[in-house]
Structure 1
Amino acid sequence: MSNKRIETLAARLVEPNNPRNRAQDSDDDDDEALFAELEAEIENDGSYAMREQGLEVLKREMERMQALKQNQHGSYTEIFDEKEVIRVTAQEPKSVVHFYHSNFKRCEIMDKHLALLATKYFNTRFIRVFVENVPWLVEKLAIKVLPCVICFLNGTTKDRVVGFEELGNNDAFTTAVLELRLSVSGVLQKQQPSGVNDIYNVSSSSAIRTKRKEQDDDRDIFDLDD
């Protein structure tokens, strides 16, 4: 059994739970059952050396992925404390922060797409922060227009997406369009960690062909100075 196959099996243990299929209270039992299944697959390998190697790789991969999971990787979470936002962005190698306001529809649209990307790019931390909770950061980062998504690499601001202009200036843009745009900054790791299957296929051509709806788009911008 190849290391790639083993890593793929390990990734199944920490894939985000499907709320339709798994109850939160039974997660631990389900994880134990899945671990036993993966261990059995490795034990069935004909080579003793490969079995030992496989179990060791599985253990390391599980420990790594579980550590990420405990730090909220794989989910899109909200942070309310300004100091905590600073700490997370400083310590995480890759993080994406959505500065939002609850009264703006386009921020809700951005939330929907970032929540999907969070489950796909497990090595990147995705968070949202209410601008009124982080006044110092809003001023420090010169955030004027919402939604504002800022990419951090090793504690340094690398890139930002302001409004929807770079996303086709269209409320109906696809998650793939946002994914393509964020990938430019390097905050999204192209290779899926541990061989986790894609949630959806990304098509550059379809992103480029995204239709633009000009009517009212220019006026649909939330300005913090207003």
Structure 2
Amino acid sequence: MPAIDPSVAKVLDSRRPTHEDDDEDALIAELEDEDDGAFDALRERRLEQLHAEISRAKLMKETSHGTYMEIKDEKQLMDITTSTKLCVVHFMKPDFNRCRIMDEKLAVLAEKHFDTRFVSINVDNAPFLVVKLGVQVLPCVIAFKDGVGLDRIIGFEGVGRKPDTITASEVEARLLTCGVLVRAKMNEDDDRRRARQQEQAEDEYDDDWD
């Protein structure tokens, strides 16, 4: 049998799989398996979170979270404040201009803060609570947590930069300080956009009567 040229033998040896190569391939395969397992676990956790969020959103919708509702009966209002963890109640009269403005801002916040229930009640429909809670100046917004009053906004006091105007962001900031809202969700751009839309609507209304 002819002898193999030493240089050729060296090349063949370099192409022959070694134990080190086998170990490296096995390690790579093991790491790939671990990556797949980690990805599957991450995907599984994310699916669980999504299902939980969907269930929570459905529950909130069923309990009127995300809406701003007028309550007609003070007994119903007491049930809401005692059965809801976070609740904002606006004591108002519908023909008061400042109450109307506060209604507009709270309706905006209600759509963004699903963790908190937002409701209003005409003071004429809540004589017992008006006396019990000492509601004297309107609008009066009271923040409740587990049925306990945390803070109240009387008129526009301590909210707006100007005495006769408020923005949804300013009301949100005030409610955040007492913990009845979980986190900030408003910004000044939202307020400016809504102000422009309201001005346009008013201009169109005026044009109809020209």
Answer whether TM exceeds 0.5 for this pair. yes
Structure 1 residue ranges (4+ consecutive) displaced by more than 6 angstroms after TM superposition: none
Q: Residues 1-226 of structure 1: matches in 2 within 5 Å? A: 47-168=39-160, 170-190=163-183, 198=185, 200-201=186-187
* Offset of residue 116 of structure 1: 0.8
- Amino acid aligned to 1:185: C
- Counterpart Cα distance in 1 of 2:72 and 2:91: 11
Residues 92, 154 of structure 1: 8 Å contact kept = yes
* Offset of residue 50 of structure 1: 2.8
- Counterpart Cα distance in 2 of 1:153 and 1:83: 18
* Offset of residue 132 of structure 1: 0.6
Greater shift in the superposed pair: 99-108 or 54-63? 54-63
- Amino acid aligned to 1:88: I
- Amino acid aligned to 2:114: F
- Counterpart Cα distance in 1 of 2:43 and 2:179: 36
Q: Identity over aligned residues, as a percent?
A: 44
- Amino acid aligned to 1:174: T
Give unpaired runs (5+ residues) of structure 2. 1-37, 190-210
Comparing both structures, which one devotes a greater share of its residues to helix?
2
- Counterpart Cα distance in 2 of 1:81 and 1:105: 23
1:187 counterpart SS class: coil
* Offset of residue 167 of structure 1: 2.3
User: Can you list the C-alpha shifts for 1:96-126, whole angstroms capped at 9, x where unaligned?
Assistant: 0000102201000000000111112110100
- Counterpart Cα distance in 2 of 1:189 and 1:53: 24
TM-score, with structure 1 as normaliser? 0.62
Greater shift in the superposed pair: 169-178 or 96-105? 169-178
- Counterpart Cα distance in 2 of 1:128 and 1:162: 14
Larger RCO (CA under 8 A, 6+ residues apart): 1
